[in-house]
Copies of this chain bind each other. A is one copy, B any other.
Amino acid sequence: MTLTLAPDTAPRQTAAPAHAAPGASVGEELSERQREVLDAVLKLMVAEGDGFSVAAVARAASCSKETLYKWFGDRDGLLTATVRWQASKVRMPKLPEDRLTGESLEAALTGFAASWLTVITGDLSIALNRAAVAHAGSGKSRLGEIVLTNGPFAMKRRIEPLLEAGRAAGLLDFADVTDAFRSFFGLVVADTQIRLLLGEDSHPDQAEIGNLSAQAVTKFLRLYGRG
């Protein structure tokens, strides 16, 4: 039996529930060949935005259009599967497991910041976010929702426990964890993402990202650190 991500009987629905965690099992449901195809789509998106035709995908992936339609239902299904596939590949740094200290908290926050900046300044993330933003505009398609879930929301879900742990350990002081997250996000990302999305090509390298992260965390700790 063929694995069909968007069968005719329920076109827009994949096997994964709507608000599932970062698409952990998406990769499992795809054959090797299908993953190759989706990687080809990712390349195309980086190269040309989401303006490419399905024929171009078939050409780039050396497969037939008919197969694409059988596997993914329609163009939107193809894009959706691609975004999910990419989302399933992103990994975040893990939290410190033993008792938090000032140093380990700062290191963990800096790690998150650097990791996040690395992701959002990457060509792939920029291309996918552009596509998602564009599709969020014209209704029709849940790309925006998916990117939102696996982007800002995923970051929030990952960081808030760290902040709470910091507070529990007497290292941080805040009343509202959402507010603290907002500040963290703002200090880290600032205008970087919107500028890149709008086409400015000032990609920071790893050294700059290191600096930006350290500075952002320093400021965050000056605002929310205890003592």
Number of interface residues of A (CB under 8 A): 43
Taking A130-B134, A133-B197, A186-B189 as known contacts, 17 extra A-B pairs with beta carbons closer than 8 A to each other, sorted by chain A number, are A50-B134, A51-B137, A51-B138, A127-B137, A129-B133, A130-B133, A130-B137, A133-B198, A134-B134, A148-B198, A148-B199, A148-B200, A183-B190, A186-B190, A186-B216, A197-B197, A222-B223
Number of copies of this chain that the complex holds: 2
Residue pair A133, B134 in contact (C-beta under 8 Å) = yes
- Given the contacts A186-B186, A186-B187, A194 and B152 also touching, CB distance less than 8 Å: yes
Interface string of A176-206 (1 = CB under 8 A from B): 0001001101111111011101111000000
Nearest residue, chain B, Cβ from A201: B136
- From B50, B185, B197, A136 is in contact (CB under 8 Å) with B197
Residue pair B191, A188 in contact (C-beta under 8 Å) = no
Residue A40 at the chain B interface, CB threshold 8 Å: no
Residue A209 at the chain B interface, CB threshold 8 Å: no
